[in-house]
Chains A and B, each alone.
Chain A
Amino acid sequence: MDVRIIEAFRAVVGDDGVIVEREQLRTYECDGLTNFRVMPAAVVLPSSGEQVQAIVRICHRAGIPFVARGSGTGLSGGALPVEGGVVIGLARLNRILEVDIPNARVVVEPGVINAQVTQRVAPYGYFYAPDPSSQSVCTIGGNVAENSGGAHCLKYGFTANHVLGLEVVLPDGTLMQLGSKSLDRPGYDLTGVFVGSEGTLGIATKVILRIVKRPQIVQTLLAAFNSTDDAGAAVSEIIAAGILPAAIEMMDRLSRDAAEAAVKAGYPDADGLLLVELDGPVEEVELLMEQVSAICTSCGAWEIRLAQTEEERAVIWKGRKAAFAAMGRISPNYIVQDGVIPRTALPRVLREIERMSAAAGLRVANVFHAGDGNLHPLVLYDQRVPGQEQAAEKLAFDIIRLCVEAGGSITGEHGVGQEKKKYMSAMFAEPDLETMQLVRCAFDPARLANPTKVFPRPRLCAERSGPYQPHPLEVAGIAELF
């Protein structure tokens, strides 16, 4: 990278905010999806919105692509650097700027860790609802970019439902406000578009969040079944009864065994485990929990545990929360897949996955948000065995295709990123993708913000009237600048 550019970055963020040494850059060469790696040309660590803006301006003038990064826990390669580009790390923008309890709003910088928001408002009886399993490490900025979900989004919704407004730096360095603390600000819902855009429309430098009042009580039930089919039938009946649990999670035999090996949660020795959480007013939760329990029994549950205290609930959740990481106990390597199907397709899709897994000679563990049909099949393999990694990748892809064929989606919460670009065409036709990219052309016609992600093929943006002129990629621009 041109030293003048590095110097320009240093002038903005100071020497300790710019990383160019190879060894240090290594930390940033991948996100949570470690099989993709690219060494960035530089990493810049701003500590304010103004600094982000200054950095982006430099990139824009010089035509240098940039990738925003929160904690790097993304699972689709969203924060994977682009060749010759800059990584803009937002960890230092970590202040909670405003807590407004009467209006249930919190304003944060993007580097704030998800769990810190809840910690901050818990004394007032509130919480921040989107709760990805990675919540103790991932950032709100990353959540915004991925539209992250969590176990409780069945009832409470996703990040998009809890972000009311943003301050963003557009890829040309313009800083602007989208949305606001009050609802329905006149104009297009650009906040809604920015959330889930995976860093391709600019960088969020402030986020206005909605927080939620804690429910009066929470109860969690754990039911053991002889098969995931039986457990799946119980899920369908619970929903059909008009009950909307806060969470419904399912684990199959393999995930249960792995979780047990890892954290000794004391789960029943079952082929299908269902975890159902209800929250709300006492009378409602107690009554509905009886119904849930009866439904589970009628669907073949042979053991039911009901957790009523915080401690008992923590025990039940412990195994579920550890499930991904626990795979390390039973397999040297694994791929975490993320697909969605209509809930009713669950039994059929699970049987098909079982068949495909047997045919490929690879084990697949299933842990998922059963209430909203969000599957997380974990394809287990051993990298040391020649050909197995490729076979695992193929199986993971086939599972996604199966989800799409069942009327679902290629990703429920982990995003498209680098990994699933090539699957986009399985779900969307060319005109759909072209139309989405009109948004990109409006935000980032020069394609500098995370340019290689999400879409399988970039759309060439027609040039239109307006102040923006796409930047010529020649060096002359840089020379003029400094």
Chain B
Amino acid sequence: MNPQPRVIANELQSIVGAEHVREAEPPYPPGVVMPLLLVEPGSAEELALVLRAARDAQVAVLPRGGGTKLEWGNAPRSAALVLSTRRLDRVIDHAWADMTATVEAGCTVARLQETLAQHGQRLALDPLWPERATIGGILATNDSGTLRVRFGALRDLILGVMVALPDGTLAKSGGRVVKNVAGYDLPKLFTGSLGTLGVIIQATFRLYPLPRETHSLSFSLEDVAAANRLMLAVLDSPLAPTGLQLRVAGESSPQLDVRFEGVAAAAQMRRLLALAGDAEHTEAALEVWALRESLWQGQEPGLVCKFSVLPADLAAVCEEIRRVAGRLRLRWSVIAQAVGVGLLRLEGPNQEALAAALGVLRAEFEARAGSLVLLHTPPDFHGRIDVWGDPGDALPLMRRVKEQFDPAGILNPGRFVGGL
């Protein structure tokens, strides 16, 4: 890989115009020290040409949207050119009567939602940092939030994509209609591929109506087992919550947040209270549904991990976290959704202890057919431990997929699972 992007600076300027090529400002991804060149193409065609120029010159490319998750994934083996989607930020089409929308990758989640709200609709997903996170970025990282329990993840909402490949190919897959089985499902392949196969340029989503009513309650339970039991009871009932979130931290009592939306929200709330018996509860503020973001701040340096387990295992893994954190004198906090996907913050001054805790916990999660992925670390922690964990026996196949889409290996080299 060529560490010096300036070899193609002239070429890039001729593709996108001189004013759209400059030095990238920090923060850079972990492990990157060299100043990077930043290029901001203004169209799909320009973006494809930029990629091809980088490929021809063997310059490693770091696709970037809002830059909120640059630290996710392994430190790239090489990064020279930041390819920003900032200028590709249009909502191309809101076909509200068909309940679909096509949007460019650089549009922020918040701006898309504002546009959709004009017709009483939404992308039924509440990812992290919507004001800054872009559509391309949430797709590449497969971020999801509290609405997932009802509406699924991006893979369930995306209908079509347009992508650019390192050889300059612009390709579409999927479509703009809610039902379509023609050809391979590249929208799903690109969702969660962390910019290692190609650059997402635009995507089409199915939409849902904005609810007219919303009610949320928070229950305070005596222990995490009880909170997990109530969560499973709600899942096993005819109630249809649009949010079901478990919050556990240190020695404070676990909280279970429940949200109902729509015309029967109040009635469902009443039935929930009957189901919950005498569990203590309060009306929940809207903010509880964005509390995940608070895990990136703490009193001491810390790690943030994304984990996934089966819903019925949530209590057990929280107990395990409590044991491990207690033994290693770490503070901890978990916010998990009822689908089994959650975030864990571990913090403490001792990096050895953090690394040790991560090792033990990852083994525990993987033994339960789950996973634990590192998202955020203290500044000098990166490199101490693999970010992703066990990639499973499909890694050779994933490598072949990567080799087909990016044979020169210029896209985010090494950042993904198994060093892909």
Contacts and interface: CB of A to CB of B under 8 A. Distances in A.
B398 A188 contact: yes
Interface in B93-139: 95, 97-100, 120
B371 to A, nearest CB: 6
Contacts of A407: 176-177
B189 A283 contact: no
Contact of B172 (A101, A344, A374, A428): A428
Contact of A188 (B183, B267, B369, B401): B401
Interface in B180-200: 180-186, 188-189, 191-193, 197
Contact of B397 (A102, A180, A190, A373): A190
A432 B171 contact: yes
B36 interface: no
Contacts of A435: 163, 165, 169, 171, 173, 186
Contact of B392 (A177, A373, A420): A177
Interface stretch (B50-58, B60-68, B284-292, B402-410): B402-410
Interface string B354-376: 00000000000000111101000
A288 B392 contact: no
A185 B308 contact: yes
Interface string A90-106: 00000000001111110
B389 interface: yes
B251 interface: no
B184 A183 contact: no
A409 B403 contact: no
Closest 10 CB pairs of A and B: A192-B188, A242-B209, A284-B264, A216-B238, A435-B171, A409-B180, A283-B264, A442-B400, A283-B267, A438-B404
Classify chain A: how many residues form its interface, as a range. 35 or more
B184 A177 contact: no
B313 to A, nearest CB: 8
Nearest to B158: A192
A138 B232 CA distance: 32
Contacts of B404: 438-439, 441-442, 461-462, 464
Contacts of A428: 172-173, 182-183
A283 B368 CA distance: 39
Interface string B183-226: 11110110111000100000000001110100000000000000
Given A183-B339, A373-B178, A432 B153 contact: no
B183 A161 contact: no
A478 interface: no
Main secondary structure of the interface of A (DSSP, over half): loop
Nearest to A157: B156
A100 to B, nearest CB: 8
Contact of A182 (B153, B268, B308): B308
B365 to A, nearest CB: 9
A240 B97 contact: yes
A410 B371 contact: no
Interface in B132-175: 142, 152-153, 155-156, 163, 165, 169-173, 175
